[in-house]
Structure 1
Amino acid sequence: MRLAGLAMSALFLTTAALAQQTDRPVLKGPAAFGDWRADKPGVRRLIKPEDLPRPYVTKSASNGAGLTERPQGAKPQLPPGFSAELVASGIDNPRVVRVAPNGDLFVADSEANQVRVYRLTNGSAKAAEKSIFAGGLNQPYGIAFHPPGNDPQWVYVANSDSIVRFAYRNGDLKASGEPQTIVDDIPSSHHWTRDIAFSPDGKTLYLSVGSGSNIAEDMGKRPRGGLDAWVKSKPLGASWGSEAGRAEVRAFDPDGRNGRIVATGLRNCSGMTVQPATGALWCVVNERDALGDNTPAEYATTVREGAFYGWPWYYIGNNEDPRHKGERPDLAGKADIPDVLMQAHSAPLNIAFYDGKSFPAEYQGDAFVALHGSWNRGNRTGYKVVRLKFKDGKPTGEYEDFMTGFVVSNGEVWGRPVGVAVAKDGALIVTEDGNGTIWRVTYSDGRS
């Protein structure tokens, strides 16, 4: 009886803590533009397009964080009932993590030009087996399995300059053959993080290609043959010159044929996923620098067919970048407004929707986003994992701090979150490339 009473007390305390967290006021407008000192699990923000300050309200800052060793025993901070266990550490550059249908974790170790595999012991963060699935790659980042379902035949990997695929059978810890190139000649300078995802039916392969610069400084004001001819022959908002084929999401058949442009003006869509509830493609986007601490917002958005998201001429709707003033009046009013705005310079790198069963019910259908952290901001922000709130499959616009504690001081951090994925058992897997660690986040209501 005493044990049952203790379990009920623990459940009550956890439920009360979660309710208190939910009851916190949402930070709006200027109050939402905080820094790392105010970050902690449960802090909620709502940023709207009209909240963004004008350009140059603050000076452009160069304020990158120094990296330090993870303090002994340090773990990320999480909401009540959640805990984090270390899966691995000392990896060169763990970036995207994706979960194979059999539960194995595939991790892009980008600087080492490898893809790693971790097979965890059931119910723990201990790796029963680990292996280098493939090496000799070129800054691998995105990973996808095809066809969708429980019996994929291929693992696709996005290098900075190509997409390759490896023959695969469930449980393979090493590639059984050489890579087959599916898409080549992808421009690879500057923003090199290429993510990939398949449509729910497996018929379409999506590829994100970031820009080659901050604001297309070297693109030139007019394409060859004139702007009028360009506009008539290209998708809305397509760029040219040094930025041709960049700042966009493309689509291909699974064999790499029939390439086309899906959407333009996405400065650096460094993370993509498909929303399970709707089948919609989502991107998290790093916006431009040097307009001030809080302008423009970073964002997460559905990628709508034929849409233009502004870069480099406009941002967050019809806000004209002053550095391109008057260059594209034909695009005025044509830039889509993204779905969820996040603090400027937070550097969102990956997104995953929660469709597991082990977190509280209110997490179902929400999305987790890894924020790598700011450098172009006087007061440092990011360096955390946040939760985007959804209702009936649609974003509310709010986001909430979920996983913090990576910042040591105003000048140093030990962790920079990059990858997020939902494990087969419902745990959340998070990679960070500051100390090269992988974490497994689980929830307990105190009853077990």
Structure 2
Amino acid sequence: MLKHILRVAALLLVVGGALFAYLAWPDTAKIDIARVEGARPEITQPREQWLPTVKIAKVVGWPAGATPAAASGLAVKPFATGLDHPRWLYRLPNGDVLVAETNSPPRPASGITSRVMNFFLGRAGAGAPSPNRITLLRDADGDGVAETRSVFMTGLNSPFGMTLFQGQLYIADTDALVRVPYQDGETRITARPETVVKLPGGGNHWARNVVPAPDGRTLYVSVGSSSNIAENGIDQEKYRANILQVWPKEKTFRVFAAGLRNPNGMAFNPKSGQLWTVVNERDMLGSDLAPDYLTQVEFGDHFGWPWYYWGGYPDNRVEPKNPQLQEYAKRPDYALGPHVAALGLTFAADARLGDRWANGAFVAEHGSWNRKPVSGYKVVFVPFGANGFPAKGAKPVDVLTGFLDADGQAKGRPVGLVTDRSGGLLVADDVGNVIWRVAAR
């Protein structure tokens, strides 16, 4: 027995020493992140990692009176404070704003990998229990500050996306699309949610989003993968890494688009009427790969995950291979840079921030945990051209920065985006527990 204990202890020391050495010298970016942004990013050779680079911005919160820094010509102030992990936003027809106060469902710590991941999530501010609540915020006097709030809905399971459709409010829980009846002006819903369709839950990438399709009959629901590169088997990824098209009346769905590792924000381009999404790409190929992206999505598209990234670059770690897919893997339209964790997306159609911000898309970059130096932790604007796509040669333009302090600690992390009824841009800050409002000066 003693010999067994000594062998285990020696093994733990070796593994622990190797882990310490690895974390002390993580993979560092070799090119400027701007070279991995835009319509033609530089795709370097992958640097495969046995363990991911870990560079976590410890969450410290906002000092009293502090705010992010807005771009020239813009101003920022709190729209609502004192929230509990506000992650996603939806504006109701009367101007009220719904905020999903939510977080990942419990992650069982059954092994060393899950225990380490739970530690990292906690350090990044993502390990707290989910409030499982939707709160209603009302700015009745239009001064850009929500003077009233009420608990709108409870009894949900890590809720995220919300949308009104045919007189009902649809909520994307982590494991189901549900709905409740809604009447204009309601401030509290107590009805028990009705399940429309079950969604795959568990694993990584718990957040589900929902938007209504222009056909007036269906909804689009985004479902991220349960893993990094299907390392637990592709059979565990059924109906994941997908955007699903749901027929709520019939309670049926189909795969609309596939190969999207973690699609989150979805929005329709007001110029073209086409669906766009932002996607978090894969990990452990080094700090320069692979770029997260913004892209138009059409029925039948496959963006390559897990076998390919950026339109056909093979990920040699994935087994079994899928060579026949390579020529059909769609290249995304616009790279946002590696590991920025692009989550929020809204087009500028209803924003009144000035001409500079009139034609394009706002993207919230939640921020990296596995890149050196860190990336993201800001809201950016992607300028679009008259053709309904990002302008030729355009790079992301910073809209809201300053989420990291001088020591690299996170005061906040931006997630959901929506315009309010006055044309300001609202930004959900899920670890700062604030909703910020960006307006023209």
TM-score (norm 2): 0.82
Q: Contact 2:153/2:190 (CA < 8 Å) preserved in 1?
A: no
In structure 1, C-alpha distance between the alignment counterparts of 2:319 and 2:195, rounded to whole Å: 41
Q: Find the counterpart in structure 2 of residue 122 from structure 1.
A: 141
- Choose which of 159, 166, 175 in structure 2 pairs with 1:140: 159
Query: In structure 2, the residue corresponding to 1:270 is in which secondary structure?
Result: strand
- Choose which of 175, 179, 190 in structure 2 pairs with 1:165: 179
Query: In structure 2, the residue corresponding to 1:333 is in which secondary structure?
Result: helix
- TM-aligned CA deviation for residue 124 of structure 1: 1.6
Letter in 2 for 1:118: L
Residue 80, structure 1, aligned to residue 72, structure 2? yes
User: How has the CA–CA distance of structure 1 residues 357 and 184 changed in structure 2, closer, same or farther, with 3 Å as cutoff?
Assistant: closer
RMSD: 2.0
Query: In structure 2, the residue corresponding to 1:241 is in which secondary structure?
Result: helix
Q: Contact 1:277/1:365 (CA < 8 Å) preserved in 2?
A: no
In structure 1, C-alpha distance between the alignment counterparts of 2:439 and 2:141, rounded to whole Å: 13
Q: Contact 1:262/1:304 (CA < 8 Å) preserved in 2?
A: yes
Residue 330, structure 1, aligned to residue 324, structure 2? yes
Q: Find the counterpart in structure 2 of residue 189 from structure 1.
A: 203
Q: Contact 2:352/2:358 (CA < 8 Å) preserved in 1?
A: no
- TM-aligned CA deviation for residue 218 of structure 1: 1.2
Q: Contact 1:187/1:246 (CA < 8 Å) preserved in 2?
A: no
Query: In structure 1, the residue corresponding to 2:169 is in which secondary structure?
Result: strand
Gaps of 5+ in 1: 1-28, 35-44, 148-152, 220-239
Q: Which runs of 4+ in 1 moved over 3 A?
A: 29-34, 45-50, 57-60
Letter in 2 for 1:402: V
Q: Find the counterpart in structure 2 of residue 358 from structure 1.
A: 352
In structure 1, C-alpha distance between the alignment counterparts of 2:285 and 2:265, rounded to whole Å: 23
Q: Contact 1:60/1:293 (CA < 8 Å) preserved in 2?
A: no
Q: Contact 1:32/1:47 (CA < 8 Å) preserved in 2?
A: no
What is the CA deviation profile of residues 168-208 of structure 1, one whole-angstrom value per residue up to 9, with x for unaligned ones? 11111111522111112433332101000011242110111
Q: Contact 1:209/1:247 (CA < 8 Å) preserved in 2?
A: yes
- TM-aligned CA deviation for residue 362 of structure 1: 3.4
- TM-aligned CA deviation for residue 310 of structure 1: 0.9
- TM-aligned CA deviation for residue 57 of structure 1: 8.0
Q: Find the counterpart in structure 1 of residue 3 from structure 2.
A: none
Residue 93, structure 1, aligned to residue 104, structure 2? no
User: How has the CA–CA distance of structure 1 residues 178 and 326 changed in structure 2, closer, same or farther, with 3 Å as cutoff?
Assistant: closer
- Aligned 1:42-441 pairs, distance under 5 A: 46-49=37-40, 51-56=42-47, 60-110=52-102, 111-147=130-166, 153-219=167-233, 240-255=234-249, 257-324=251-318, 327-356=321-350, 358-392=352-386, 393-396=388-391, 398-441=395-438
- TM-aligned CA deviation for residue 326 of structure 1: 7.4
Query: In structure 2, the residue corresponding to 1:355 is in which secondary structure?
Result: helix
In structure 2, C-alpha distance between the alignment counterparts of 1:57 and 1:139, rounded to whole Å: 33
In structure 2, C-alpha distance between the alignment counterparts of 1:256 and 1:418, rounded to whole Å: 32
Q: Contact 2:38/2:396 (CA < 8 Å) preserved in 1?
A: no
Query: Percent of aligned pairs with the same residue?
Result: 36
Q: Which moved more, 1:353-362 or 1:76-85?
A: 353-362
Q: Contact 2:39/2:333 (CA < 8 Å) preserved in 1?
A: no
User: How has the CA–CA distance of structure 1 residues 288 and 123 changed in structure 2, closer, same or farther, with 3 Å as cutoff?
Assistant: same
Gaps of 5+ in 2: 1-29, 103-129
What is the CA deviation profile of residues 223-257 of structure 1, one whole-angstrom value per residue up to 9, with x for unaligned ones? xxxxxxxxxxxxxxxxx411111101110113352
In structure 2, C-alpha distance between the alignment counterparts of 1:50 and 1:191, rounded to whole Å: 25
- TM-aligned CA deviation for residue 417 of structure 1: 0.3
Query: In structure 2, the residue corresponding to 1:127 is in which secondary structure?
Result: coil
Query: In structure 1, the residue corresponding to 2:271 is in which secondary structure?
Result: coil
- TM-aligned CA deviation for residue 87 of structure 1: 1.8
Query: In structure 2, the residue corresponding to 1:391 is in which secondary structure?
Result: coil
Letter in 2 for 1:53: T
User: How has the CA–CA distance of structure 1 residues 320 and 357 changed in structure 2, closer, same or farther, with 3 Å as cutoff?
Assistant: closer
In structure 2, C-alpha distance between the alignment counterparts of 1:379 and 1:113, rounded to whole Å: 33
Q: Contact 1:99/1:423 (CA < 8 Å) preserved in 2?
A: yes
Q: Find the counterpart in structure 2 of residue 42 from structure 1.
A: none
Q: Find the counterpart in structure 1 of residue 126 from structure 2.
A: none
Q: Contact 1:340/1:398 (CA < 8 Å) preserved in 2?
A: no
Q: Find the counterpart in structure 2 of residue 17 from structure 1.
A: none
Q: Find the counterpart in structure 1 of residue 111 from structure 2.
A: none
TM-score (norm 1): 0.81
Q: Contact 1:353/1:367 (CA < 8 Å) preserved in 2?
A: yes
- Aligned 1:6-45 pairs, distance under 5 A: 30-33=31-34
Letter in 1 for 2:423: G
Q: Contact 1:355/1:422 (CA < 8 Å) preserved in 2?
A: no
- TM-aligned CA deviation for residue 414 of structure 1: 0.6
- TM-aligned CA deviation for residue 438 of structure 1: 0.5
User: How has the CA–CA distance of structure 1 residues 162 and 57 changed in structure 2, closer, same or farther, with 3 Å as cutoff?
Assistant: closer
Q: Contact 2:231/2:318 (CA < 8 Å) preserved in 1?
A: no
Corresponding pairs, count: 381
Query: In structure 1, the residue corresponding to 2:363 is in which secondary structure?
Result: strand
Query: In structure 2, the residue corresponding to 1:131 is in which secondary structure?
Result: strand
What is the CA deviation profile of residues 349-397 of structure 1, one whole-angstrom value per residue up to 9, with x for unaligned ones? 1100111252212322311111000011010111100101101122125
Letter in 1 for 2:80: A
Q: Contact 1:163/1:183 (CA < 8 Å) preserved in 2?
A: yes
Q: Which moved more, 1:375-384 or 1:359-368?
A: 359-368
- TM-aligned CA deviation for residue 276 of structure 1: 2.1
Q: Which moved more, 1:311-320 or 1:177-186?
A: 177-186
Letter in 1 for 2:405: V
